[in-house]
Structure 1
Amino acid sequence: MFLEWFKELNPITQALLATLFTWFLTALGAGVVFFFKEVNRKFLDGMLGFAAGVMIAASFWSLLAPAIEMSENLGIPGWIPAVVGFLLGGVFLRFVDRYLPHLHPGLSQGKAEGVKTSWERSVLLVLAVTLHNIPEGLAVGVAFGAVGANLPSASLAGAIALAIGIAIQNFPEGTAVSVPLRREGLSPMKSFMYGQASGIVEPIAGVLGAAAVLLMRPILPYALSFAAGAMIFVVGEELIPESHQEGNSHIATAGLMLGFAVMMSLDVALG
């Protein structure tokens, strides 16, 4: 019943609802702070590794592979949009990473990245996870936009699978923001609000991604590849180093393998 209703919606509305769901999982993860002041670091590193695995699998199965197939259907060598879009996605995230003030959990305020600012530590922590969520929301939006553009290699089930995968890995990201803030003395409610706020960017990026694809269909292979490159940048620059900084590399790697397997299974089974 729900799926039939969902199919009838405008692709931009579909993207909005899907990314609101991914934001909800971020908020759910942030809500852990109401029950625990601390979360076992090994568990958190395993979940961060899981998030990295989901993003790696989604980058290929849900984004790059369809981009290559679409390019070939349009008479363009498949590797050109994939390579160009992928690298541009990484360059864009590097630019944002360099200039957006942010601080990764577990680091002192003196190790904040981006332009120098007097912003509070809590704001900088939220912005670090917000940086992760920009490409995630964009990827979901572009996937639904591709379905709306009636491209043969895009399917509604595949876009839904991508949204589910992103939502699952958003849970530990919300926890990774709220729990450290609670440990530093913020109230449970304030810690929760900061934690869920990091996911608000996903519906915005999702709607923009879907709208861009519908308005400029020829850019779709590049847009899919761009989202993939941005996600891989986040994995290599943020998630993997963060999950290894406490010496739990084996647990984080096991989480990565599991996350990849889960996302791959979702995409193949549903897409």
Structure 2
Amino acid sequence: MEEWRQIGYPFGMAFLYAIGAVAIVSLVSFSGLVAIAMREAALKRIVFLFVGLATGALFGDAFIHLIPEALGSGIGKVTTGIALMSGILLFFALEKFLYWHHCHGVHEESADTLTLHDHAPKRLGALILSADFVHNAIDGIIIGASFLVSVEVGVATTIAVVFHEIPQEIADFGLLIHAGWSRGKALLWNFFTALSAFLGVALVLVLGEGVENFVPVATAFTAGAFIYIAGSDLVPELHKTEGFGRTVIQLFAIVLGFGLMLLLILVE
């Protein structure tokens, strides 16, 4: 593609960088090992810190990297705004569907105590893994699109995804254990679902090579997705924390996550 030759960033390199980044993110699925090794109190402190880091990193990547890149690409403010809002709405709809499906399954099985005892844990585990499969595939799409912009944007997005994935994977591991899975089985299946990110990155790179204006639209879409995740999922978790000292630590973690995104711009 002429566009990649003009900026000195071959499409093949974008593919290799994105695959490498997704491989790193996939390894985060083994964060559950931390849950095995650590006591509950220490684990809560780790998750507490990473939620703050993820919030700052996701907002920072969206506002410092992704939105400016989309606006500077020439697709226009209106197209950028529509793509950004589409990311917010799609993730809202996806989360709403998964939440409804989960609640519907639990309520349906609650009508029969014996059925709940026999099948609810299996149903819960399957729902968690299904949601993870879709979520990780979307992570692959997001990472692939970011590396089609530049290495710097790709690295920033990968860091933001990793910060978000660590507490998410630990929480999912805990839910699978709660559903009656063994630790080994929970880790293994968590890793298998993480591999769906490779499908996502392959899809976006194939589309990115052949569809005009795909990259800037996908970049704005990713920004919307990050804004939704940070604002809808992570900020409410931060509000659950009480105490002045812990609030200060939260603010520090958010600023640190945002600062890492800013640092990538400064060293570019």
Normalising by the smaller structure, the TM-score range is 0.7 to 0.9
Distance 1:194 1:53, change over 3 A: farther
Distance 1:126 1:257, change over 3 A: farther
> Any unmatched runs of 5+ in structure 1?
1-5, 111-116, 147-154
Matches within 5 A, 1:1-271: 9-24=12-27, 26-36=28-38, 38=40, 39-71=42-74, 76-77=75-76, 79-101=77-99, 120-127=123-130, 133-146=136-149, 155-182=150-177, 186-245=181-240, 247=242, 250=247, 251-269=249-267, 271=268
CA RMSD of aligned residues (A): 3.4
8 Å contact from structure 1 (residues 140, 206) kept in 2: yes
CA apart distance, 1:202? 2.5
8 Å contact from structure 1 (residues 174, 198) kept in 2: no
**Partner of 1:100: helix, strand, or coil?**
helix
Distance 1:131 1:141, change over 3 A: same
CA apart distance, 1:144? 2.1
CA apart distance, 1:183? 5.8
Partner of 2:116: none
Residues 15-50 of structure 1: CA distance to partner in whole angstroms, max 9, x if unpaired?
2222122111x2231221342363532431221121
Letter in 2 for 1:31: L
What is the alpha-carbon distance in structure 1 between the residues aligned to residue 261 and residue 251 of structure 2? 15
CA apart distance, 1:86? 0.3
What is the alpha-carbon distance in structure 2 between the residues aligned to residue 235 and residue 179 of structure 1? 21
8 Å contact from structure 2 (residues 57, 260) kept in 1: yes
What is the alpha-carbon distance in structure 2 between the residues aligned to residue 183 and residue 60 of structure 1? 37
Letter in 2 for 1:30: G
Percent identical across equivalent pairs?
20
What is the alpha-carbon distance in structure 2 between the residues aligned to residue 103 and residue 240 of structure 1? 22
What is the alpha-carbon distance in structure 2 between the residues aligned to residue 246 and residue 196 of structure 1? 30
Distance 1:264 1:30, change over 3 A: farther
Q: How many residues align?
A: 243
TM-score calculated relative to the size of structure 2: 0.75
